[in-house]
Amino acid sequence: MSTEAATTSGHKYDVWIGDTIYSWDKGTISVPEIRKLAGLPADCPVSAVDLVAQQEVPLPEDAVHDVPPREPGRPLVKRTQFKAIG
């Protein structure tokens, strides 16, 4: 897995898309924001993979997902991964 996450002071969240963890500065992320962050085409379907329940769910275009804050000094907790479908 690659890590593209910047370590600038304004980024308090990590978003896992595909094989990359990105830094994020808001407590939520929308499907269009996921695409933009990962450089996916605007019409690319996206799914959320719940790693605890081991379930993958296609996201509707208007979905907004909560992003848990990064805890300083603690390892990244990966609970949700976003993926391009197809």
Name the residue ranges covered by the structural domains of the chain: 2-84
pTM of the predicted protein model: 0.80
Structural Rg of the chain based on CA atoms: 12
Predicted confidence (pLDDT) per residue in 2-23, tens digit: 444 444 445 689 999 999 999 9
Q: Count of H helices and E strands in the chain?
A: 1, 8
- Do the Cβ atoms of 34 and 40 come closer than 8 Å? yes
CATH hierarchy code of domain 2-84? 3.10.20
Residue 76 vs residues 7, 16, 29, 65: alpha-carbon distances, Å:
13, 10, 18, 18
In the predicted model, what is the mean pLDDT of the chain?
A: 85
